[in-house]
Amino acid sequence: MEIREIKCKTALSPSKLPGLDYSLNPYHGCQHNCAYCYVPNVLRIKREGWGGFVNVKTNIPNVLAKELRNKKLGTVGISTVTDPYQPVEKKYRLTRYCLEQMLMHDFPVCIQTKSDLIIRDLDLISKFSKAEVMMSIATLNDNERKLLEPNSSTIQERLNVLKKYNDVGIKTSIFFGPIYSTIKLRDVPSIIDTFIEHGAKEIMLDKFNLKPGILPVLEKTFPNHKHLLKNDLYFKKVLNEAKKIGNKRNVKIVSAF
């Protein structure tokens, strides 16, 4: 893993994602190395090498501090194209330093991660007037998680994060995806119930998008990759089944995009 320290010129970027006004990414690149990652396609960069490097924006807390003085109050998505709590955060603590700056102006934050390192910052996040912690979970099968998301926290560790934040009154949600067909329709009710039981107040489902360059990665990391892929009709069936459970339990179920 190549770690490079770099300088950034800007911290906050306008966001087109629903519910977010800004995006903040303290790192460029991600150690989690998820086989299905869409970020190279979003950033329009080569997939080769992705998952093998992280650029650390060492000055981003200072840049952010200056920007916040003149920015209109709005919800900040942390992070949108990398995980803000990937392992390198243990050393550099840039996500925490940025949160400290945003707390001074009480900007609403929505944090999405696959890492239980976020528990470290519960003391800080709990001070915001408005905060949301969204855990990204694609499966409850940890053996599949090891293959598809090799350097991420275990599923149980992520569920524990949900419960801890929910217990102190912070809104918790799930990004459930990408949906692949090892998840059977009959298993959807128990999966959704598991999320709800651990405190999820909203569940966002994302279909498996086979972006250019992803298939070769799947062929290497997941021999049965063809079973991961299904058409839009299958995703709609999963989404509808999830919505049935959500309606019964009064939990919002939505499609990601």
Distance separating alpha carbons of residues 137 and 65, to the nearest angstrom: 32
Say how many residues make up the chain. Answer: 257
Is the pLDDT assigned to residue 227 strictly greater than 70?
Answer: no
Distance separating alpha carbons of residues 131 and 134, to the nearest angstrom: 10
Is the pLDDT assigned to residue 216 strictly greater than 90?
Answer: no
User: In the structure encoding, which two tokens stand for residue 162, read together?
Assistant: 């949900």
Is the pLDDT assigned to residue 215 strictly greater than 80?
Answer: no
DSSP secondary structure letter of residue 20: -
Does residue 253 come out as left (phi exceeding 0), alpha (psi in the -120 to 50 range) or beta?
beta
pLDDT tens column, 138-184: 999 999 899 888 899 999 999 999 999 999 999 999 999 888 778 88
Give the residues across from 55 on adjacent strands. Answer: 4, 28
pLDDT tens column, 194-208: 999 999 999 999 987
Most confident of 141-145, 190-194, 212-216: 190-194
The reported pLDDT for the residue numbered 49 is 74
Please tell me whether residue 64 adopts helix, strand or coil conformation: helix
251: nearest Cα among 206, 199, 178, 207: 199
- Mean pLDDT value across residues 239-248: 94
Is the pLDDT assigned to residue 225 strictly greater than 90?
Answer: no
**Angle at Cα 101 formed by Cα 99 and Cα 103, nearest 5°?**
65
Give the residues across from 194 on adjacent strands. Answer: none
pTM: 0.91
Give the residues across from 253 on adjacent strands. Answer: 203
> Residue 75 in contact with residue 23, Cβ under 8 Å?
no
**What residues make up the domain containing 243?**
2-255
Query: Which CATH number goes with the domain that contains 196?
Result: 3.20.20.70
pLDDT tens column, 14-24: 998 889 999 99
Distance separating alpha carbons of residues 203 and 192, to the nearest angstrom: 8
Confidence of residue 240 (pLDDT cuts 50, 70, 90): very high
Does residue 44 come out as left (phi exceeding 0), alpha (psi in the -120 to 50 range) or beta?
left
Distance separating alpha carbons of residues 8 and 231, to the nearest angstrom: 40
Confidence of residue 229 (pLDDT cuts 50, 70, 90): low
Distance separating alpha carbons of residues 72 and 21, to the nearest angstrom: 9
Is the pLDDT assigned to residue 114 strictly greater than 70?
Answer: yes
Distance separating alpha carbons of residues 217 and 149, to the nearest angstrom: 12
Total count of domains within the chain: 1
The reported pLDDT for the residue numbered 224 is 65
pLDDT tens column, 118-132: 999 999 999 999 999
